[in-house]
Amino acid sequence: MSITRKTRLASAAQRVVRLFGLDIVYLDRVTENGRLEHRYRGAKPHSDADMDILNEWLERDRQAVVVDRADCD
C-alpha cells in the first residue's frame, strides 16, 4: 500500500480502513457552496473479534509508551 501526495483523501482513507477489513462506501455527489462534494458512508462496525485485536494493540502501545518514558528518565 502506498499513499503519495497525489493520492485523493478518500482513496487514502479507504486504503487505511481496508487494513482492518473494513470499507468506506461511496454514497453520491452533491454541489455545496459551488463545489462538487463526494459523500461517503462510514465503515461497518467492528466485530467482537476485531475489537479484541484492536484493544490488544492499544494496550501494547500504551505499555510501550510507559517503557519509553521510563527509559528517558
Q: What is the pLDDT of residues 13-57, one digit of tens each?
A: 888 888 877 778 888 999 989 999 888 887 666 667 777 888 899
pLDDT of residue 73: 66
Beta bridge mates, 31? 36
Mean pLDDT of 55-69: 87
Is the overall model pTM greater than 0.85, yes or no? no
- Spatial distance between the Cα atoms of 14 and 10, rounded to a whole number of angstroms: 6
Cα 69 from Cα 72, distance rounded (Å) = 5
Model confidence at 59, in pLDDT bands (50, 70, 90)? very high
